[in-house]
Amino acid sequence: MEHEYDLAVIGGGIAGLVAGTIASESGLKTILIRKGRGATSYSSGAIDILGNLVESQFPLSPIDALSTTGVIRSTHPYVILGISENNREVHTELIVQRVKDSVKWLQRNLDGLCAEFTGALDQAMEAITVLGTTKPTCFVQKTMDMGNLVKDHDDSNLLFVDIVGHPDFNGRLAARTYAEFQRYADKPVKRVSSCSITITPFGKPYNISSVEVARHLDHSGLPKEALSELRKNIENTGATHVALPPVMGIESANTVLQEIAELGVHPFEVLSFPPSVPGMRLQQSLDAMYLESGGQMIVGHEVVGYDSADDRVSRIIAKSPHRKMKISATSTILATGKFIGGGIKGTESGFKESIFNLDTVDLNYNPTDDLRPQKLTDRVNVQYEGHAVFSVGVPVDRYFRPINYDSQVVYENVFAAGSVLAGYNYLVEKSGLGVGLTTGYTTGLNAMKYIKEEL
């Protein structure tokens, strides 16, 4: 079967879905092909912009961090956003403007969906995680909004709540950890405590999984016993805020939280580890957004090959266990993610991009095609600079088109977005979904220009 499109997007994480939506909402005939789940569905419920500029010695607001990257990093995807059309120089205002535009756009598009989010670019947010630690981020899903827990409140009293037999969140330890952090806070939360409630999707109080609880709550709401356990504990502790496991429903978390709020507290979910219900919400909302824009989506298909002519990719070939498809498109966006998504592979003999066999580079655009992955790791597992291996990806020109080691554009109609890109380490920078969003947004626009022959 042969199919013809204006734009083919390979990959259905945040980068691909945003790019696809932009294109299809402005009338391009768009198809998105994805083989499965990527990092987007693992994410915690927070949308990081740039939480920690590794080179900076002190914390910055996302906007300040963005402005600073332009000065110290020439290969960061955010910096590429800031290259001006006119003089090809990096303008920090342009970086900030592009980020603002794409955030605003996404906020509008997710409005009313389960991954609706809140936050502000000029304020760093310290969101509480399942460990009870806090992480510097920028936006969180509405159900994770901590309200006035640390701001504008003199007597915050936080109650951590966990579910018996649900091992993914231990409220007692989270409370202990968070309470210790409060010692260093300017305006500490006055009291931190914890309790457990019972929610048993299958009638047994053990081996309870996050997704099962969420589905159960979607289906039957918060059980009465759980609500009364909560009420009792809120009364006993005098809690003003309640930190919940991030499992309060996929579709209906807002409703469940409202019910809890009626007990006179401000409830919110903590950031999740995978398997992540907030990650599922995000994935589901982005899917809905894309489909709403009129784009076509093919799931369970892996792009395994392509045809090219005259420096252009003319066709891509996708395969499922049952069939093979040939898709011709005027332009293609590569949004296949990094290692989790499958966009980049690392073997004993080096790294390569998995579909077009594109050249790969590291943080500073040094070649990595024949580097053994181990060489890009540090001896210490969890540390400030992170592992260089996670900044490996494809290098791009100012329009986000992959380039080779000679800095030549490989295919004039192929653009790359999201974590398949090189030049940044989202794990330590805390910038994953932010880069995915903004580069998806920008490559969507660039591909459109290319198709209209305006690039």
Partner 1 sequence: MADYDVVVIGAGSTGTAVARDCAMRGLRTLLLERDDIASATVGTCAGMISSGLKYMDEPEIVDMCSDEVVHFLRIARHIIMKNPILTPMLEMSDLSSGGNFAEEYSKRAESRDVPPVLFLTPEDSREIEPSLNPEIIASLYFEEYFIDPFRLCILQALDAKNHGADVKTYCELVDIDVKDGKIVGVVYFNRITREEKRVSTHIVINAAGPWASKVAKFAEAKVDLRLNKGAHVILDRRVVNVGVIAKAVDGRMIYLFPHENTTLLGTTAIDTWEDPDTLTASHDEIEYLLQSMEWVIPSIRDARIIRTMEGVRPLVADWKIPEGKVTRGYEIIDHSSQNIKGLISFTGGKLVMCRHMAEAATDLAAEMLRVETECKTHLEPLPGNEDDVDVLALAKEFDISQHAVERLRARRGTETRMILELTKDHPDWKTTICTCEPVIEAEIRYSIRHEFPQTLNDLRRRVRLGTGPCQATFCTYKAAAILADERELSGHDFQLDILDFLSERWKGKRPSFRREQIIQEEVAQGMYACVGNLDLTLGSVYTRKPWEDWS
What is the rounded distance in angstroms from the CA atom of residue 207 to the CA atom of residue 199?
12
Q: Does 194 bind partner 1 (CB under 8 A)?
A: no
The tokens describing 10, both together, are 């390979």
Q: Which residues contact 163 (CB under 8 A, 6 or more apart)?
A: 169, 196, 197, 198, 199, 208, 213, 245, 247
Residue 64: CB atoms within 10 A of its CB come to 17
Omega before 275 within 30 of 0, i.e. cis: yes
> Is 12 an interacting residue with respect to ligand FAD (CB under 6 A)?
yes
Site string for ligand FAD, 264-303 (x = CB under 6 A): ----------x---------------------------xx
Size of the site for ligand FAD (CB under 6 A): 38
d(CA 29, CA 433): 25
Residue 130 touches partner 1, criterion: CB under 8 A: yes
Among 16, 119, 132, 423, binds ligand FAD (CB under 6 A): 16
Is 210 a binder of ligand FAD (CB under 6 A)? no
- Compare residues 51 and 444 and give the one whose CB is closer to partner 1: 51
**Residue for token digits 């594109």?**
358
423 DSSP assignment:
S
- 409 counts as binding partner 1 under rule CB under 8 A: no
- Which one of 46-54, 242-250, 261-269, 368-376 is the stretch in contact with ligand FAD (CB under 6 A)? 46-54
- Output the DSSP codes for 69-80: HHHH-SS-HHHH
What the block records as the tokens of 205 is 């109080």
Shortest distance (Å) from residue 335 CB to partner 1 = 16
Q: How many residues does the chain have?
A: 455
Q: If binding is defined by CB under 6 A, does position 175 make contact with ligand FAD?
A: no
Structure tokens at 124: 């760093």
Q: Are 296 and 121 in contact (CB under 8 A)?
A: no
Burial of 263 (0-12, 13-18, 19+ CB in 10 A): middle
Which of 382, 429, 383, 432 minimizes the C-alpha distance to 43? 432
Binding to partner 1 (CB under 8 A): which residues in 32-51? 39, 42-44, 46, 48
> Is 398 among the residues that bind partner 1 (CB under 8 A)?
no
**Binding piece for ligand FAD, criterion CB under 6 A, among 30-38, 307-315, 362-370, 442-450:** 30-38
Q: Which stretch binds ligand FAD (CB under 6 A): 20-28, 171-179, 190-198, 337-345?
A: 337-345
CB 96 within 8 A of CB 74: no
- Of 247-286, binders to partner 1 (CB under 8 A) are 271-274
In the complex, which residues of this chain contact ligand FAD (CB under 6 A)?
10-16, 33-36, 38-40, 42-44, 46-48, 274, 302-303, 335-337, 340-343, 355, 418-419, 426, 432-434, 436
Sites of contact with partner 1 (CB under 8 A): 39, 42-44, 46, 48, 52, 129-136, 164-168, 170, 172-173, 176-181, 204-208, 271-274, 338-340, 345-348, 372-374, 377, 379-384, 386-387, 389-390, 426-428, 430, 432
